[in-house]
Structure 1
């Protein structure tokens, strides 16, 4: 042991305050996010389509294009900002029921299926023009 011991001191060398040490760790943690964060963030922000909704889209001949998906994602973002849980998203010729916290399309219908239909168990509606 090469540290110098002084009479009357319990610890060799200088003692650094714990608060200073914790501040350094906190600052380092803020600059380096934990691994996997980007992938988790990406997965949270992607719109998912349930098996049921995929079947309905196929049965009714509805094809979602890139710009429509962007509009739907924007509508989901707006509904989430308002605290919605289950939302009806109305577009020109289709309607989608979306679980907002999971960002999942639960079911889909075209204009014919929407006619004279009652939508239940939703807490919001977003109209995309």
Structure 2
């Protein structure tokens, strides 16, 4: 004879279903999540609509240091605006012309790839760009 106190009940885990972790207070009578809660889609859209910062690649940082090119706050804001304008037109890689400096930038990645001062522009040919933007 088996002692029923010695046998442990078998635990079978149940699958997790979408919306199951939502507190009961946020559910309507049908058990659906109410519209008042923040959905994943809304959070994703909010993140995508935030302005993305301009990045400087390691190569561009090296070139800028060698050539004494400094991009300060106002300059970076102008570069960001130029990238936004280029992106709105469908550009992927642009030559950004800003005063005495030309910047090659990946619009998709919002990254400055290289920088060339005016004195060296005559010796350079820019390839693999699909647009040029004058930075204000």
Runs of 5+ unmatched residues, structure 1: 1-15
**CA–CA distance in structure 2, aligned partners of residues 107 and 29 of structure 1:** 41
Counterpart of 1:60?
67
Counterpart of 1:78?
85
1:97 has 2:101 as partner? no
TM-score, structure 1 as length reference = 0.71
Deviation at 1:41, TM superposition (A): 6.5
Partner deviation per Cα, 1:100-124 (whole Å, 9 max, x = no partner): 1110111111011112422110011
1:29 to 31, 38, 46: 38
1:108 has 2:104 as partner? no
How many residues get paired? 107
Structure with more helix by fraction: 1
Counterpart of 2:55?
48
**CA–CA distance in structure 2, aligned partners of residues 41 and 58 of structure 1:** 32
Structure 1 vs Structure 2 CA RMSD = 2.8
